[in-house]
Amino acid sequence: MKFIRLAALAFATFLTAASADAFEIERVTSPGGIEAWLIRDRTAPVLAIQAAFPGGSAQDPSGKDGLANLMVALLDEGAGPLDAQAFKTKIEDNSVEFSAEADRDYLTVGLRALNTRRDAAVELLSLALAEPRFEPQAIERVRGQVLVQIQRDAENPRSIAWRTLWTTLFPGHVYSRRAQGTAETVPVLARDDLVAFHRAGLVRDGMKIGVVGDITADELKPLLDRAFGKLPMKGALNSIPEAKTASPGTTTVIRRPIPQSVVTFGHVGLKRDDPDFYAAFVVNYILGGGGLGSRLMEEVREKRGLAYGVSSSLSTLARAGVIVGSVGTENAQTATSLDLIRKEWRRMREEGPTETELKNAKTYLTGSFPLQLSSTGRIARTLVNMQVENLGIDYLDKRNSYIEKVTIEDARRVARRLLDPDRLTVVVVGDPAGLPVN
Amino acid sequence: MIRDFSRRPIFRLAASAALLCGLAAPALAGVFNPETFTLPNGMQVVVIENHRAPVVAHMVWYKIGAADELQGKSGIAHFLEHLMFKGTPSVPPGEFSKIVARNGGQDNAFTSYDYTGYYQNVARDRLELVMKLESDRMANLTLTDAEVDPERKVILEERRQTVDNSPGARLREQMRAAQYMNSPYGRALIGWEQEMRGLTTADAIAWHRKYYAPNNAVLVVGGDITMKELRPLAEKYYGAVPARAVPQRQRAQEPAQQAARRVTLESAQVRQPSWQRTYLAPSYMRGAIEHAYALQVLSEILGGGATGRLYRALVADKELAVGASSYYDAMGVDLSTFGVSASPRIGVEIATVEAEVNKVLAELVEKGVTADEVARAKSRMQDAAMLARDSFSGPARLFGEALSMGRTVEDVEQWPERIGQVTPEQVNEAARYVLREHQSVTGILLPKPTS
C-alpha cells in the first residue's frame, strides 16, 4: 500500500463532512416526540440508524475509569427477555450490524440492517437501549475481554505513545484518563455502577438521531417510538470542566527494544465551534492532514524516505481542542525526522501557506466531500455529528462555502495562532539515537 | 483504507470478501448486476452502478503479485506499487496523487500475493482525468535512481512499522513461511528485508515492462456511471495501450504436508499470549476446489460471531477465552489456508485453550454439523451480500479481486446461489478433508519471561 493515513488512527472526533446536493434532509418527529434527521436513500435495500447520547467516558467517576466503555459493551449481552446467547442469536440470524461505543463526550449506538429485517432490528435496538440485563456472567465475560485488551495495549508502542501524549496534554483532567480503563480500575467496576451509568446516560434528553435508508418519514415515525420511546426522559450527567491543555514542549523518550521509534506529538489547538475552525482545518490539511501532498509527507517521506507515514490532525472535543500527529522512523533517523517536523511547523507558523497551496487545499476539501457519504452508515453518522456539533440542518449544503470563504489572510493568521513549534510536545517510544531529551 | 500487504489484513479482507458477495435467496436475479466487455487489446472492463452520489471508484487491477516474484527478489511487486507514483514524461514524480487531490479525489494502491491494484475515488466528472493518468502510467512509467532510492527507504520503514515493530505480525510471517515450504505464498508479502535492500531501479523497470500490460489488467468502475458512458473512455485511454506478450504464471506448488508444525514467538512486547492455527486448504483455483464453497460455510459455523461453535464453547460456556474465531479465504490462485484462533482469558494457560479448540474441532469432524447450523450460516452469508450493495466502492473491489485471479463476473454474481446449494454433508466432507493436524501450522505468541 502506498500509505496509511495515520491521522485516521488517532482519535478524530470532528466531522469532515461537506456538501452533496443529492441529499435532502428531513426533520422527522414521532408521535411520542422523538426527533430524527432522515435522508431517504433508495440505493440499497438497507436501513441505518445512528444515535448519540451526551456523556461518554469523560463521565467515568474517579477510580472507575472504563465504566462507560464496559457499559456500552454490555448492551448486546442480554436484554429484556433474552439472555446473552439468545440476544446474539437474534442479532446474527437477522443479520443486524449492531454497534455501541463510548467516545470521550458521547455514547453512540447504531445499527444497519436489510429492509426485510427492519422490524426485528428495531426491536433488538429498543431492548439493548432500554432493558440491558447486565447479568453477572456477562459482566465477567466482557470485563475479561476488556482486561485482555488493556494487556495487549500495555506494550504496544503506538498505544503507549498515544496515551502518554494524551496524559501530557491534559494533566489532571478526565480527558487524560483512558476510556477503556486500566488494569486497576476495570476489576472494581460493579454491576451497580453499570446500572447507574446506564440510567444516567441513556436518556432522551440530548439524544441525537440520524436515519438513512429506503424509508419514508411516515414509516419512520412509529419505528422511532419503538426504538427509543422506552428510554427515560431525563438523566443525570456531571458537568465536565473545560480542559486546561498543557503544551510544555517536552520530549519524553520511553525506551523499548524495537527497530522503529513510534512518535506522537501535539499541542493545544482549537475547538469545533471556534470561528477559526475552518481556517485551521485548511492549514492542517496543508501541513500534515493531506496524505502524500502535505508538507510533512513531502519533507519526511518523499524527499528523504525517513518514514512510511507522517501526519497531523485536529482533534476536537467538547471541552478541549488539540492538534496532534505521529510518525514512525528508524531509530537512527528519529532525531532528523523530528527536526524536520519542527521546521515545517515553524515555517507554516511564520509564513502560512502559499496561495497555490490554499487553492489546492480548497479544491480537495470541497471536491472530496461526497466521497465521505459513501454508505448509509456513514451518512447516518454524519447526520448525528451535524446535530451534536450544532452545525445546522443545511450544513451539507453550506459546508463547502465555509471552506471557500477561508482567505489567505485567515490562513496565515490562524497558522500563527494555531502552530507553535516551541510548545510541540513529543513522545517517543523506541530506541532513538541522538535525541536531546528535556 | 486498504492494507493488503500483511498477513492479518488479508484475512480481514477475505472475511469481508466472502461476506460481500452474496444475495438473498428469494431474488436470484443478481446482486450487483455488473456489465462487462473486453477491449480489443485484451483488457477486461467491468461497471457496477450505484447512483447514490455523483462519485465513482475507478480501479485498475494487474494480475501480478508477490507470489510471482523471482526467488531472491521478494518485495518487488509491492515496491513497484510505490514506484508507480514516481512519474511519466507528462506527469512529474510525486504529482500523480497531487493532481488527483487537486481534483477532489482520493487515491491509493495495494499489493497482494496474486494481484496489484490502484484506485481513485473521484467525482464522476473527473473520471476521464484519472483514466488518462492511470493509462499513462501503465504505458509510460519512468524511473530513475533519484526517485527509487528514497522510496526504497520508505518501504523499509513500512516493513518496520507493519511487521518488525509488531510481534503478532512477525509471528504471522513466520507461520506463513512454515505453512508454505515450496509455494511462493510462504514469502513475506512486503519482502524480506535483506532482499528489499537489494531491489534496483532496473528490477522495477523490468517488472513493469514484463507485467503491466493491458491484457494483464482489469478495469473496474463502481458508482454513478453506466457502461454506455464508460465504454468510449475506456476505448480512448486503455484501448490505446498496445497488448504485449505476458508470461504465464508459473509457480512452484506446495507438496502434501506430512507433519504438523509449530511456531512460537516470545517477545517482551507481548503481555498477553494468543494462539492460532492454519490448515493447508484448497482455494477456488487450486487443490480440492470442490470444497471451496463448503469451507466458507464451515468457517461461518465454526467462527461466525458470538454464536459460532468456537465462541460458544471457549468464550460463553467454558469461559477459557475472550475471543475465538475462524477464517477462510477461497480467493487465491494457489492453495489457501483455513485458520482458527483463540485468545485466552488472563490466567488461562495456552495449553488449556488449545485442548479445548481441539475438542471442538474433533467433535465437529466426528459428529458433523447440523442442518439448522448450515441453514442459518447460509442465510447470514446471503444477507451480507445484500448489505454489501450499500457501498459504491466495495463491489468494485470484489469484482477486481475475483477477475484478477482468473475468476469470472458470473462466479461473483452466482456466489449466493452456490453458497445456497451447499449441503450439510458437503460441509462435513470439507471439514474432514481440511481439519487434519498433520497439514497444520500452530502459532503461539508468548510474553518473554523476565529474568
How close A400 comes to chain B (CA, Å)? 12
3-class DSSP assignment, residue B32: coil
Q: Give me the number of domains chain A comprises.
A: 2
In a domain, A269, yes or no: yes
pLDDT score recorded for residue A6? 37
In a domain, A53, yes or no: yes
Residue A179 CB-half CA count within 13 A: 19
Are residues B209 and B279 both part of a single domain?
A: no
Mean pLDDT for chain A?
A: 94
Give me the amino acid identity at A56: G
Report the candidate in B53, B180, B1, B433 with the shortest Cα–Cα distance to residue A367: B53
Percent of chain A with pLDDT over 70: 94
Yes or no, beta carbons of B108 and A2 under 8 Å apart: yes
Dihedral of CA B174/B439/B272/B306: which sign? positive
Residue B325 confidence class, pLDDT cut points 50, 70, 90: very high
Are residues A68 and A163 both part of a single domain?
A: yes
Its domain, for residue B92, covers 7-237
Yes or no, beta carbons of B53 and A328 under 8 Å apart: no
Is pLDDT at A404 greater than 70 in this prediction?
yes
In a domain, A246, yes or no: no
Which CATH number goes with the domain that contains A158?
A: 3.30.830.10
In a domain, A237, yes or no: no
Q: How many CB atoms lie within 10 A of CB B425?
A: 13
Chain A residues inside the 8 Å CB shell of B157? 260, 305-308, 328-330
Grid cell digits, residue A138 = 456477562
Its domain, for residue A144, covers 23-228
A83 touches B: beta carbon within 8 Å = no
> Residue ranges of the alpha helices (H) in B334-414?
350-367, 371-388, 394-404, 409-413
Which CATH number goes with the domain that contains B274?
A: 3.30.830.10
Residue A291 confidence class, pLDDT cut points 50, 70, 90: confident
Are residues B222 and B266 both part of a single domain?
A: no
Cα A99 to chain centroid distance, Å, stands at 14
Are residues A153 and A43 both part of a single domain?
A: yes
Chain B residues inside the 8 Å CB shell of A114? 24, 383, 386-387
Are residues A184 and A275 both part of a single domain?
A: no
In a domain, A16, yes or no: no
Are residues A219 and A286 both part of a single domain?
A: no
Q: How many CB atoms lie within 10 A of CB B367?
A: 9
Give residues 149 to 178 of A whose Cβ lies within 8 Å of B: 151-152, 154-157
Give residues 192 to 221 of A whose Cβ lies within 8 Å of B: none
Q: What is the CA radius of gyration of chain B?
A: 22
Active site residue B173: no
* Section B389-417 average pLDDT: 95
Chain B residues inside the 8 Å CB shell of A140? 319
Are residues B227 and B270 both part of a single domain?
A: no
Is pLDDT at A311 greater than 60 in this prediction?
yes
Are residues A193 and A255 both part of a single domain?
A: no
In a domain, A3, yes or no: no
Distance, CA of A253 to CA of A429 (rounded, Å): 6
Among residues B183, B203, B237, the one where a domain terminates is B237
Are residues A98 and A191 both part of a single domain?
A: yes
A376 touches B: beta carbon within 8 Å = yes
Among residues B237, B253, B271, the one where a domain terminates is B237
User: Do residues A206 and A54 touch, judged by C-beta distance below 8 A?
Assistant: yes
Please tell me what DSSP assigns to residue A239: P
Is pLDDT at B23 greater than 50 in this prediction?
no
Distance, CA of A359 to CA of A305 (rounded, Å): 27
Phi, psi of B436 (to 5 degrees): -120, 130
Among residues B204, B237, B270, the one where a domain terminates is B237
In a domain, B249, yes or no: no
In a domain, B256, yes or no: no
Yes or no, beta carbons of B346 and A88 under 8 Å apart: no
A189 touches B: beta carbon within 8 Å = no
Are residues A164 and A273 both part of a single domain?
A: no
A292 touches B: beta carbon within 8 Å = yes
In a domain, B300, yes or no: yes
Yes or no, beta carbons of A148 and B346 under 8 Å apart: yes
Yes or no, beta carbons of B270 and A293 under 8 Å apart: no
Write the pLDDT tens digit of every residue in B124-141.
Answer: 999 999 999 999 999 999
Mean pLDDT for chain B?
A: 92
In a domain, A43, yes or no: yes
Residue B13 confidence class, pLDDT cut points 50, 70, 90: very low
In a domain, A8, yes or no: no
Are residues B307 and B198 both part of a single domain?
A: no
Yes or no, beta carbons of A8 and B271 under 8 Å apart: no
Write the pLDDT tens digit of every residue in A191-239.
Answer: 999 999 999 999 999 999 999 999 999 999 999 999 999 999 999 999 9
pLDDT score recorded for residue A21? 56
Are residues B29 and B146 both part of a single domain?
A: yes
* Section A309-318 average pLDDT: 97
Are residues A158 and A304 both part of a single domain?
A: no
* Section B233-237 average pLDDT: 98
User: Do residues A218 and A31 touch, judged by C-beta distance below 8 A?
Assistant: no
Q: Give me the number of domains chain B comprises.
A: 2
How close A311 comes to chain B (CA, Å)? 15
Are residues A202 and A124 both part of a single domain?
A: yes
Are residues B153 and B69 both part of a single domain?
A: yes
Are residues A89 and A147 both part of a single domain?
A: yes
A399 touches B: beta carbon within 8 Å = no
How close A241 comes to chain B (CA, Å)? 35
pLDDT score recorded for residue A131? 98
Yes or no, beta carbons of A43 and B389 under 8 Å apart: yes
Is pLDDT at B243 greater than 50 in this prediction?
yes
